[in-house]
Structure 1
Amino acid sequence: MRVSCFARTKPSDASLEGIAQWTIGEMADERTLLQAIAGNDLVFHLAHTTMPGQSNTDPVKEVSENVNGSLLILKACVQQGVRKIVFASSGGTVYGIPNIVPIAEFAPTNPLAAYGISKVCVEKYLYLFRHLYGLDYHVLRIANPYGPYQSPLKPQGLIANVIHRGLNGMPIDVFGDGSIIRDYVFVDDVVQALIIGARYDGTEKVMNVGSGEGRSIADVLNWVESALGMGSLSVNRRDERKVDVPTNILDIELIQRETGWRPLIGFGEGLARTIAWMRSTHSL
């Protein structure tokens, strides 16, 4: 099986060497995109250049880089005869403030972040390209993934950030009072959902991927504090952000019913694996 990866930069972790043929470039680079996609029957679209918390500062950039960039990926897929594309959408941002929790796939999509709007926009273009060109697709609206290899130095990924700062005795920024609830899903479970999405040939094109459980920021801090066993975590309280919805828990009944997928890694085990990996790296 031939595996090709297209990214802005090659991964620095030595353990990822040799698993694929890497092509380095930007989504806006049509020529490089075509070279990376050529000869592949299936494409996983995981690329995004911004973070939800910062995307509202420049919505024009959000569209030009991520909506337009995604359209170039779809165009390249059609030109290179790709059979199917699996798109990593955002279950954490596309729905906005929910009317009903847990949130099912048929819920309204009213994102509070330009990041979420661009994800919904790409979902709609996937539908259009299937209608126009027969490009099959599957959308996975992924909750808040965490686990090994997630960078703790980016402004996204609460669990990686909290573990990293806790191990190094650094204060943790918490926006609001810690009551914001999110659905955290371990990366291995997300990978299995992506593989299943590639193989799925049913009629449902959009599926949630999450744990189906909600945890507040305060609860996550308590879990990490206990798992680290290093005493109390230091916390900086910040003003709440307009981009943060109060509660986001995904209904995962559809993907379970259609594919048999379910999350296998519990929160405690996922934390333990993430902490063990972070302690073993030189990025602390």
Structure 2
Amino acid sequence: MRTGSHGGVAVVGGAGFLGSALARSLEGPDVHLYTRSRPVLASGSLPAELDTVSTVVWAVSQVNPQVAEERPDLVAEDEHHLLSFLRALDDHGLSPRTVLLSSGGTVYGNHGAPFAETTPTRPASAYGRAKVRLEQVLADHAACPTVVRVANAYGPGQPAGPGQGVLAHWLRAVAAGRPVTVFGDLGTARDYVAVQDVVAALLRLHQHTGALPVVNVGSGRATTLGELLDVVRDVTGTPDLAVRHEPARGFDVPATWLDVGLAREVLGWEPRTSLRSGVAATWEWLAASVAR
């Protein structure tokens, strides 16, 4: 059995936004990526290389906030996939640190921000409730569990999924010459964390040998939609950017941001990417993608 920082890394969901960003930062024969076309669990069997792995990052999911509201069957499938994997690890006598990427923006609920890891989870949306259930599955069945509650991650490579990824949607709208859509009040506040900062935290976690059941990863500050809009206008050079206002959606909450002091204290990690530089890098990536 292997635990701690002396083995390889497995990324389950290696084709997704966060999983692929983590995969790009890792090199060598001890890095193993699993996707839909190369599943980590096939007919109840695990790949032999998992015996050399000390950290598994579970970055796979079929749902986002909108899908979770509309497709409870996919929420149940996500839970079943994680539970089946953890049981297979136990059956094979393997005990890597298993890192679940959860949602720092939805599991804590509507009130009390900034949220620390000790804040009670009171999710107000189907997505938040789904993430809390996955966290419980991990805590109940993983030999060495760590939940990473990620704030609103953004950056190069982020897709514009339904109901998620405001910057991905806004920047694509700017690139196409369309108005950006704002749901709810411009005072709605979120914690936006650059994908490279999330990856840095995960790499620190892989090297960490002690127990760490839950850790927040975010920018540690609140940014309103109005402030974010100002950054987008500045970075894209569109001061007269048109805005289309829509009512708030049922799964939106007024304000969420994270206290990231534990990650700083235990992992020696802190967010290093300013919002403007992170948005600029995302805009440059998108512009290059459109040009190809």
State the TM bucket, normalised to the shorter chain. Answer: 0.7 to 0.9
Partners of 2:164 and 2:44 in 1: how far apart? 28
Q: C-alpha root-mean-square deviation of aligned residues, in Å?
A: 2.8
Q: What SS does structure 2 have at the residue aligned with 1:201? A: coil
Q: Which amino acid aligns with 2:87?
A: K
User: 2:129 aligned with 1:117, yes or no?
Assistant: yes
- Call closer, same or farther: CA 1:7–1:188 in 2, change over 3 Å: closer
Partners of 1:278 and 1:173 in 2: how far apart? 18
- Call closer, same or farther: CA 1:152–1:25 in 2, change over 3 Å: closer
User: 2:33 aligned with 1:25, yes or no?
Assistant: no
Partners of 1:8 and 1:257 in 2: how far apart? 28
Partners of 1:167 and 1:95 in 2: how far apart? 34
Q: Match of 1:108?
A: 120
TM-score (norm 2): 0.84
Q: What is the number of equivalent residue pairs in this alignment?
A: 275
Query: Tell me, which stretches of 5 or more residues in structure 2 are unaligned?
Result: 1-6
Q: What SS does structure 2 have at the residue aligned with 1:204? A: coil
> Aligned ranges for residues 52-71 of structure 1 at < 5 Å?
52-62=65-75, 64-71=76-83
Match for residue 101 of structure 2 among 80, 88, 107:
88
Partners of 2:123 and 2:291 in 1: how far apart? 33
Partners of 1:37 and 1:239 in 2: how far apart? 49
Partners of 2:205 and 2:16 in 1: how far apart? 25
Deviations 1:47-106 (A, max 9, x none): 1101113312233431x22111211221233234142111111101101112x2211111
Q: Match of 1:51?
A: 64
Q: Match of 2:189?
A: 181
Contact 1:86 1:198 in 2 (8 A): no
Superposition deviation, residue 216 in structure 1: 1.0
Contact 2:116 2:260 in 1 (8 A): yes
Q: Which amino acid aligns with 1:227?
A: V
Q: Match of 1:136?
A: 144
Partners of 1:253 and 1:23 in 2: how far apart? 32
Q: What SS does structure 2 have at the residue aligned with 1:86? A: strand
Q: Match of 1:268?
A: 276
Contact 2:191 2:220 in 1 (8 A): yes
User: 2:283 aligned with 1:240, yes or no?
Assistant: no
Superposition deviation, residue 6 in structure 1: 4.4
Superposition deviation, residue 44 in structure 1: 0.4
**Percent of pairs with identical residues:** 31
Match for residue 216 of structure 1 among 211, 214, 224:
224
Q: What SS does structure 2 have at the residue aligned with 1:281? A: helix
Contact 2:34 2:40 in 1 (8 A): no
